[in-house]
Chains A and B, each alone.
Chain A
């Protein structure tokens, strides 16, 4: 059988090789995504996104209305207003800013508004710390947003554009948070390939398209937007007789997300030649692995390089990168991890008095398996602490010992903390 070489629609030589940090990559992606309203308040390490974007606005390169709000709470509020009025809206934040806006973060998803937000992950106070961990992302875990985690600058750029398409898909209509690690990605220069502007415009299908809804009052389907010709009421009071049903509808919408994310990942592959696993999870060498490490974000990149080297030596080790944290792909993970003997989950945040959130989700995924792998939780990198390859090697040595003894004594372990 003749093997055909896959050729993407926009081959690599037609893409523009640029150097930028993660924040700038987000700004470029938003610039190309025909966004109508950007509202943001500066917070380290997110600032570069809005700084760069303000340049685009003030140089007349985009049609976007930029709202320099007085707080993150108002940033999300303005995005909710703009999205409800039919605009494609974007904001970016981090840490304390996300904590301040979290009230409206819940409202944005419950009103089914396809807002995209870049969350440049940073530790929460106190003690105040400007560096990276995932405690802010875990804070909005149950808010009903789709949460995607990226590994490098190229993925940051690609995912931000995909996020608009995922959010606005008629089956989804939910906001998307693109999580990139503060400083590790936001401030690190990397080469990445950018698409031509019109390709992105075409990929997104032009400006935002509204979905139609059936309302008893009207004899036709009306667009879900603040429209003077077909007035709708957004954000009404829901008592015990409807609130529950509406929340369940949100859950139903979440169920549509994984197939859409996978579809868009494939579509992106055909367009650019790049894809990230199946879009939901990115498994590397887990088919035959005894030891599987589960991680999210930029840390997955470091672990990937270590795992690669160990596999070259013939060790049965794999990496499972979670790209889509919410909705969590429980059954996919159960399938992927069913052959493993021991699974080490890497959490970059912790809730005092419990396990890391990723660990809990992995444990839930594995619970129904007949033969469950051993499971342990590594907390690492809090407050921006580095994860050098040497630390990953040390962790893997520890995990190997657990595998030999077939028991896990301490479930939670801290990686790289001074005793």
Chain B
């Protein structure tokens, strides 16, 4: 394997320190032909540098790294409190090769709104040394579905030019796996344990991406780092629209989902294959559009896997596989099918 060469610091005055994006400014959507994931890992430098302290098998860093490969120029990152924040910036160290700010758990969207407004004001008075600076938020499901939802909704309503990337590991993993508004039904967490009477979380997952669609912002998408090219393209589209964009990325947590560290990406692939987490994007002009694997499943329903394929590898759903819980498993399958069929009805590129 060739050695990765990192750009030397400090870089030239006025130039961003992390000139790493694969799609050069002005990229119009065509994918370079001679391009694969290995080349990407070896030749490009993500904004999240090695040495962070996220768990082995965590996909949050994949979300950040893949997103950073799709940058189009100088970018400021805003992070909500969570695993990603505490593990990547333990003072006096930082893994971020980009300007980065964390303020609190629930206000990442509001902080990003402030940063974006400052950029506008500085530009208006000729004090911004760049043509444009992008603002990207990374926040977990707790800081997005629950406590941070008000700030997110406010930011979307006011139309700040911010890309908000939710990495959804489906529980409060940073504090020790407590249920959140993003935890799926029947999942066992430390505050919704699968007990003798109540089998895990009783409520369904909040449809956050659909809620963001209802805000009529310019761009909403779902993604997983397992479908990496799809994800990077969506990030780039999210940056290029003029106004708020929201990407809901599923992000595995092997500690909370209870599985070995080497199958994280495989599990996210299965989430899409079982239609538990369909891949789509939404724009006000085109409406819902299925992408990548989900589009393939829509065209060929035989590719759709039963939900067992997704849950059988995760300890948090272990109780569903017991014979006495057959009924619950059926309920889960029905719920997934219903959501998927609903999406097929709405998606403009799904075969009718």
Interface residues of A (CB under 8 A from B): 36-37, 39, 63-65, 67-71, 73-75, 77-87, 89, 103-104, 107, 111, 207, 216-220, 225-239, 242
- B122, A233: Cβ atoms closer than 8 Å: no
Q: Report if B124 contacts A (CB, 8 A).
A: yes
Minimal beta-carbon separation of A302 from chain B (angstroms): 39
- B114, A89: Cβ atoms closer than 8 Å: yes
Which residues of chain A have C-beta atoms less than 8 A from B153's C-beta?
A: 70
Q: Report if B56 contacts A (CB, 8 A).
A: no
Expressed in whole angstroms, the Cα–Cα distance for A80 and B113 within the complex equals 10
- A70, B151: Cβ atoms closer than 8 Å: yes
From known contacts A36-B121, A68-B158, A231-B98, infer whether A85 and B104 are also in contact, taking CB-CB under 8 Å: no
Number of interface residues of B (CB under 8 A): 57
Minimal beta-carbon separation of A154 from chain B (angstroms): 29
Expressed in whole angstroms, the Cα–Cα distance for A238 and B93 within the complex equals 10
Minimal beta-carbon separation of A241 from chain B (angstroms): 8
Expressed in whole angstroms, the Cα–Cα distance for A229 and B124 within the complex equals 20
Identify whether the interface residues of A are mostly helix, strand, loop, or mixed.
loop
| Cβ contact of B150, chosen from A36, A71, A219, cutoff 8 A | A71
| Cβ contact of A77, chosen from B98, B100, B107, cutoff 8 A | B107
- A233, B89: Cβ atoms closer than 8 Å: yes
- A37, B117: Cβ atoms closer than 8 Å: yes
Jot down 7 A-B pairs with beta carbons below 8 A, ordered by A. Answer: A65-B124, A73-B106, A80-B111, A81-B115, A82-B114, A229-B13, A236-B90
- A231, B157: Cβ atoms closer than 8 Å: no
Identify whether the interface residues of B are mostly helix, strand, loop, or mixed.
mixed
8 closest A-B pairs by beta carbon, nearest first, are A81-B114, A70-B154, A78-B114, A228-B74, A87-B118, A74-B110, A236-B89, A77-B110
| Complex: chain A residue closest to B86, CB-CB | A237
- A67, B114: Cβ atoms closer than 8 Å: yes
Q: Report if B78 contacts A (CB, 8 A).
A: yes
Which residues of chain B have C-beta atoms less than 8 A from A82's C-beta?
A: 114-115, 117-118, 121
- B124, A233: Cβ atoms closer than 8 Å: no
- A229, B114: Cβ atoms closer than 8 Å: no
Which residues of chain A have C-beta atoms less than 8 A from B89's C-beta?
A: 233, 235-237
| Cβ contact of B113, chosen from A63, A78, A86, A104, cutoff 8 A | A78
- A218, B102: Cβ atoms closer than 8 Å: no
Which residues of chain B have C-beta atoms less than 8 A from A242's C-beta?
A: 91-92
| Cβ contact of A230, chosen from B17, B113, B122, cutoff 8 A | B17
Interface residues of B (CB under 8 A from A): 9-11, 13-18, 74-76, 78, 85-86, 89-92, 94, 96-104, 106-107, 109-122, 124-125, 127, 129-130, 133, 150-151, 153-154, 157-158
- A80, B114: Cβ atoms closer than 8 Å: yes
Number of A-B contacts (CB under 8 A): 184
Expressed in whole angstroms, the Cα–Cα distance for A82 and B120 within the complex equals 10
Which residues of chain B have C-beta atoms less than 8 A from A233's C-beta?
A: 89, 94, 96, 100-101
- B18, A65: Cβ atoms closer than 8 Å: no
- A218, B10: Cβ atoms closer than 8 Å: yes
Given contacts A36-B118, A104-B104, A231-B17, 11 further A-B contacts (CB under 8 A): A39-B113, A74-B113, A81-B114, A84-B111, A87-B122, A103-B104, A111-B103, A220-B10, A227-B99, A233-B96, A236-B91
- B101, A207: Cβ atoms closer than 8 Å: no
Which residues of chain B have C-beta atoms less than 8 A from A104's C-beta?
A: 103-104, 107
- A71, B154: Cβ atoms closer than 8 Å: yes
- A219, B113: Cβ atoms closer than 8 Å: no
Expressed in whole angstroms, the Cα–Cα distance for A36 and B120 within the complex equals 9
- A67, B16: Cβ atoms closer than 8 Å: no
Expressed in whole angstroms, the Cα–Cα distance for A107 and B104 within the complex equals 8
From known contacts A226-B99, A231-B98, infer whether A74 and B107 are also in contact, taking CB-CB under 8 Å: yes
Expressed in whole angstroms, the Cα–Cα distance for A271 and B11 within the complex equals 44
- A235, B103: Cβ atoms closer than 8 Å: yes
Minimal beta-carbon separation of B55 from chain A (angstroms): 16
Minimal beta-carbon separation of A236 from chain B (angstroms): 4
Minimal beta-carbon separation of A297 from chain B (angstroms): 30
| Complex: chain A residue closest to B98, CB-CB | A231
Which residues of chain B have C-beta atoms less than 8 A from A63's C-beta?
A: 121, 124-125
Expressed in whole angstroms, the Cα–Cα distance for A79 and B112 within the complex equals 10
Which residues of chain A have C-beta atoms less than 8 A from B130's C-beta?
A: 228
| Cβ contact of B10, chosen from A71, A230, A237, A238, cutoff 8 A | A230
Expressed in whole angstroms, the Cα–Cα distance for A216 and B121 within the complex equals 31
From known contacts A63-B124, A229-B15, A236-B94, infer whether A80 and B10 are also in contact, taking CB-CB under 8 Å: no
Which residues of chain B have C-beta atoms less than 8 A from A71's C-beta?
A: 150-151, 154
- A234, B101: Cβ atoms closer than 8 Å: yes
Expressed in whole angstroms, the Cα–Cα distance for A73 and B108 within the complex equals 11
Residue of B18, B101, B129, B130 with highest tally of chain A CB at under 10 A: B101
- A69, B110: Cβ atoms closer than 8 Å: yes
Minimal beta-carbon separation of B139 from chain A (angstroms): 13
Expressed in whole angstroms, the Cα–Cα distance for A86 and B115 within the complex equals 9
| Cβ contact of A81, chosen from B11, B96, B103, B122, cutoff 8 A | B103
Residue of A73, A218, A225, A228 with highest tally of chain B CB at under 10 A: A228
